[in-house]
């Protein structure tokens, strides 16, 4: 099973239904000889039985039409012109994605992998107008980018608060599915705050949804029933046995990154200078650790903040800046929630000892 950005990866899922042997056997099993036998079912019958009355009318499904009408004009098709090298030399390829108009000045939020390495970027609005767009800023770590077209008085969407989402809540994914124009699909929120590894890059704080996400949806909005953007669709799991598992970058994760890209053209991240993995009971047993949760330091960058703070490989970080660290994702999010230059307290376990130190975070080298 693989996780792929939904710009280029797609698979046709084949669903096979099978009946287990246990299900078949129940059709032919005789009752035990000790079971009481009945010659008549009359003693169990109730001629006055009826379905219980329903005191209140059933709750109807939501009407998605107002949401689609409101949001769809703010969703654009993004076509990136790429020059690629192949067996027969260099050639031009056009890749389809989606974007979200976030103000009336032409700023568009999308995915980094939609516009990365593009020679030219074209944007088509739902009214048929086409514009040449320029890159404002990109960030590969979050897979987010901002582009801009030269137009004003454009329709735009409102940003929602993804921290208010609940499991089972209705959502719509709107985007340029399969490069055939803007379409909408409905689903629910399946999971929240999910980390997903995509080709070695871990995306954090994702929303898992059952809304159908297809190639071309990348960069399009995931909206709630109020028409607010609560995510940017980015990833789906591609495998023959998997269906209905797609992910969106949550609006609260995306918002500060988009703001930095518009204001500064880039995003800076604080950095500790460690390579870590999640401590599990199995890892704790094999590595003879005294704790079964936390972030195990597997590698330390020479001259980085972690080395200066006295951390070593084999240490297990269990608290960072007053935040409990249970797994790798907790540490990454705690670091990203800090400031460059900030001095943070770190609690770690070395052998059987619990030790507190402090480290001054610096700017991530990839910034």
Catalytic-labelled residue, pool 143, 260, 315, 330: 143
Catalytic-labelled residue, pool 113, 139, 190, 315: 113
- How do 158-159 and 228-238 pair as beta strands? parallel
228 near 159, Cβ under 8 Å? yes
Q: Is 30 a catalytic residue?
A: no
Contacts of 75 (CB under 8 A, 6+ apart): 98, 99, 100, 101, 126, 157, 174, 175, 176, 182, 220, 221
* Residue 331, φ and ψ in degrees, nearest 5: -70, -45
DSSP character at residue 351: T
Q: Is 143 a catalytic residue?
A: yes
3-state DSSP: the chain helix, strand, coil percent, rounded to 5? 15, 40, 45
Catalytic-labelled residue, pool 77, 162, 218, 234: 218
Closest CA to 343 of 362, 358, 324, 323: 358
Rounded Cα distance, 247 and 236, in Å? 6
Rounded Cα distance, 45 and 67, in Å? 50
Structure tokens at 88: 């027969």
Burial class (CB within 10 angstroms; exposed 0-12, middle 13-18, buried 19+) of 267: buried
Q: Is 364 a catalytic residue?
A: no
The Cα-based distances of 356 to 108, 293, 335 in angstroms read 44, 17, 17
> Which are the catalytic amino acids?
113, 143, 218
């Amino acid at each position: 099973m693989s996780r792929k950005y939904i710009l280029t990866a797609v698979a046709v899922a084949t669903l096979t239904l099978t009946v287990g042997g246990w299900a078949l056997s129940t059709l032919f099993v005789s009752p035990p000889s000790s079971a009481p036998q009945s010659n008549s079912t009359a003693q169990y019958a109730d001629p006055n039985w009826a379905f219980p009355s329903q005191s209140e009318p059933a709750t109807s499904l939501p009407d998605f039409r107002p949401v689609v009408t409101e949001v769809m004009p703010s969703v654009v098709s993004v076509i990136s012109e790429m020059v690629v090298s192949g067996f027969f030399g260099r050639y031009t390829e056009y890749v389809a994605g989606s974007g979200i108009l976030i103000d009336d000045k032409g700023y568009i939020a999308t995915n980094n992998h939609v516009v990365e390495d593009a020679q030219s970027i074209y944007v088509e609005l739902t009214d048929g107008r086409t514009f040449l767009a320029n890159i404002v800023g990109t960030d590969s770590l979050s897979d987010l980018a901002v582009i801009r077209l030269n137009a004003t008085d454009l329709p735009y969407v409102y940003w929602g608060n993804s921290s208010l989402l609940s499991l089972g809540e209705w959502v719509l994914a709107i985007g340029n599915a399969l490069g055939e124009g803007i379409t909408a699909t409905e689903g629910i929120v399946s999971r929240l705050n999910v980390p997903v590894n995509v080709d070695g890059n871990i995306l954090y704080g994702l929303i898992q949804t059952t809304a159908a996400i297809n190639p071309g949806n990348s960069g399009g909005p995931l909206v709630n029933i109020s028409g607010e953007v609560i995510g940017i669709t980015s990833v789906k799991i591609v495998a023959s046995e998997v269906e209905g598992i797609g992910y969106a970058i949550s609006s609260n994760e995306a918002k500060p990154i988009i703001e930095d890209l518009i204001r500064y053209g880039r995003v800076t991240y604080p950095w500790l200078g460690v390579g870590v993995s999640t401590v599990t009971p199995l890892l704790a047993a094999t590595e003879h650790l005294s704790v079964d949760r936390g972030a195990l330091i597997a590698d330390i960058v020479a001259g980085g903040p972690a080395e200066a703070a006295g951390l070593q490989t084999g240490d297990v970080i269990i608290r960072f800046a007053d935040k409990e660290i249970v797994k790798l994702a907790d540490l990454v999010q705690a670091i990203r929630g800090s400031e460059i230059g900030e001095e943070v307290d770190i609690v770690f376990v070395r052998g059987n000892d619990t030790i507190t130190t402090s480290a001054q975070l610096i700017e991530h080298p990839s910034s």
